[in-house]
Amino acid sequence: MRVQTERHGRVLVVRIDRPNKRNAIDADTTRGLDAALNELDDDEELWAGVLTGTSEVFSAGTDLAGGAGEPTARGGEYGVVRRRRSTPLIAAVEGVAYGGGFELVLACDLVVASREARFGLPEVSRGVIATCGALFRAPRALPLNVAKEMLLTGDPLTAERAWSLGLVNVLAEPGSARSAALALAERVCRNAPVSVRASLQAVDAVAGAADDEGWAATDRGIAAVRASQDSQEGVAAFLEKRAPRWAGR
């Protein structure tokens, strides 16, 4: 199975388990994430969730060979990024969270990262753009110029810098992001669940008020890029493991 779940008392741990593909998201992974987060949303005995990958990588994003499958009815892309949740979800990041992997992190409420973790939006280096929320969520979670730097250069952000900028809540030692995220989830679960859910929904209602406009702007960007020769060249070069030859159109 691409996605594994474990219950730790009131906490559901959701683990992407596709290490041979750097936990890239394919259609089966999307369905697995959707089912796991439906469980988190629907079970009143669950008061918090942790989303993680394997010990070496969180997720390298969309599987470019086969795609991530269709958006789900409740979760949207990856079964996660358009989901309206009332149960807190914590990202626990070891290794890289690149492209759609970083967009999964941005869709969570809190972030725990290993000191060796890296966050990146390398889409421009492949002739495409971020399609799963990063175009408007990255500037929300980071200073505007830092978000632009990630989006325009494709260069990664270290966990240390992400923590100093406020993206990461807890900086953990290598190999301990999951346990640190569970400890943070337990801190959440010590509180009244109705109060936690109401607080999260209120914050998201305000913070996400412009999301519809953000998705519309993303769709316009996607349409412009898909019409270009460079988008085809970027993906081809990545799959063929060579430097792209950009046409600029």
Q: Return left, alpha or beta for 10; rule: phi > 0 is left, psi -120 to 50 is alpha, else beta.
A: alpha
**CB neighbour class for 102 (10 Å; exposed up to 12, middle 13-18, buried from 19):** buried
SS3 letters across 10-67 = CEEEEEECCHHHCCCECHHHHHHHHHHHHHHHHCCCCCEEEEECCCCCCECCECCCCC
Cα(79)–Cα(86) distance, rounded to whole angstroms?
15
User: What is the Cα–Cα distance from 18 to 2, expressed in whole angstroms?
Assistant: 6
Q: Are residues 7 and 48 in contact, defined by beta-carbon separation less than 8 angstroms? A: no
Packing angle between helix 134-141 and helix 211-226, nearest 10 degrees?
130
Cα(42)–Cα(25) distance, integer angstroms: 23
- Give the DSSP H or E segment for 111: strand 110-114
Catalytic residue positions, numbered: 103, 123
Task: Count other C-beta atoms under 10 Å from residue 116's C-beta.
Answer: 18
Query: CA angle, corner 18, sides to 13 and 23, nearest 5?
Result: 85
- Report whether 69 contacts 31 (CB < 8 A): yes
